[in-house]
Amino acid sequence: MVALAPSAQAAESATASFTRTSDWGTGFEAKWTIKNTGDTTLNGWELEWDFPSGTTVNSHWEATVTRDGDHYTAVNAGWNGQLAPGASVSFGLNGSGPGEPSGCTINGAACDGSGDPDPDPDPDPDPDPDPDPDPDPEPPGEYINLGYFTEWGVYGRDYHVKDLVTSGSAAKLTHINYAFGNVQGGKCTMGDAYAATDKAYTAAESVDGKADTWDQPLRGNFNQLLKLKQMHPHLKVLWSFGGWTWSGGFGDAMKNPAAFAQSCHDLVYDERWEGLFDGIDLDWEYPNACGLSCDDSGPDVMRTMMRAFRAEFGQDQLVTAAITADASAGGKIDQADYAGAAQYTDWYNVMTYDFFGAWAKTGPTATHSPLTSYEGIPKEGFNAAAAIAKLKAKGIPADKLLLGIGFYGRGWTGVTQSAPGGSATGAAPGTYEAGIEDYKVLKQRCPATGTIAGTAYAHCGEQWWSYDTPATIDGKMDWAKRQGLGGAFFWETSGDTADGELITAIHRGLNG
């Protein structure tokens, strides 16, 4: 970090510091942090710096950045220019080259606080010493960047809604899917009510720095997400039902589609959490096919379900679904009428991950989220490009398809071959489950050693893992845009680093 602030403060002064948050060899991600070190409100900021020749800014967010040769100027966005005393704000950029900034000034004064900017001609006469977080009224881009937030993550994973704020991720997301509600007895039901509505948060744990009280009517994740939406009004939140574990109830529920849809509507829009949800996501794994259990409802069941939910939820609320990416001949995509259902669906989250893994315990090793096919891939039709092509060929509009990204890796142990296709003895150890591990762990424990078919793999000791990195996500987002897709989604938020580098990579790739 450069440009540390001295202890002396003027009536109005500011500092700016530059930090590289990640580096992937061919490029880097960084952030500038501007802090008001004075005792009056700072009404707007303009930051200037120079990069040495060979170091450039390629994209940026949460500020307007212009370039004149090697000289850069960044001006606040409309929503983050006013800083109360002691407050700070950051904006991000990605670039290339090894250089560090020099000649830094903030509002015309040295970024380390050694010189004062010109005085404010009209200072705020009554600055708020404890302002609410600055809102982010504009969406982060034209493409959808959707993340699943898991209900159970608040336990062993110790991941909470506030982490979306401290990581800088909330401003880069467009939608959050809250996972999962259950499907039981023909109805949508709560998953874990304690985590959703009752868990008490301290001031330090809470999104807005305010502690829950014993007698308030709503606590838990739902209350924290409501606070997050107040801070970031562009965010839409959907309640996702089903998932791998809880999909078994869909077949029974679809014996009466209208009653099923009504039960879900009543729960999603319960007055206890009024204003939280903007729609529903149906994660049935899989209609008329097998997942954890098998369904034989027939190929029309997907169209019937989405039609019933659109009728119940209306045109103003979001109705989406997570769907298979199995494009093999006669595979899961062929088992249900996803094209017929698309007319009632805002978009599909195409689960273009988990194609291969250590459930095949002796291998061959293969990347679990290949963008394309490659020589030696264990099964044809098990890649993102094949899935998207098949769905489009069935008549589903490209902009109703989101590309799926896994924020985790899948791995084997007992592997001697570095390239894909090696033999193994079983699943590699994982923190919560054998054969699977979060990106934030693998990045440090088993760094990527190669890429194939648009994703990365890593061979470390006897372990072999595959996962996406910021660099491979950049490539996948470029591909998604060229395909005309509506954007991307990922599973799930807690797998990212503390500074949200994968969410940032999706945001950068879609909007750069």
Question: Taking the C-alpha atoms of 233, 239, 243 and 246 in order, what is their torsion angle to the nearest 10 degrees?
Answer: 160
Separation between Cα atoms, residue 287 and residue 289, nearest integer Å: 5
Separation between Cα atoms, residue 94 and residue 351, nearest integer Å: 28
Separation between Cα atoms, residue 120 and residue 43, nearest integer Å: 8
The answer to whether residues 204 and 163 touch, using CB atoms and an 8 Å cutoff, is no
Residues 6+ apart with CB under 8 A from 136: 79, 170, 171, 231, 232, 233, 234
| Amino acid code (one letter) for 508 | R
Instruction: Break the chain down into helix, strand, coil percent, rounded to 5.
Output: 25, 30, 45
DSSP state of 17: E
Separation between Cα atoms, residue 369 and residue 496, nearest integer Å: 16
Residue owning tokens 């005792």 = 39
E strand or H helix at 312:
helix 301-313
Return the active site residues: 285
What does the angle CA 248 – CA 174 – CA 271 come to, to the nearest 5 degrees? 60
Between the alpha carbon of residue 481 and those of residues 366, 486, 512, the distances in Å are: 26, 8, 11
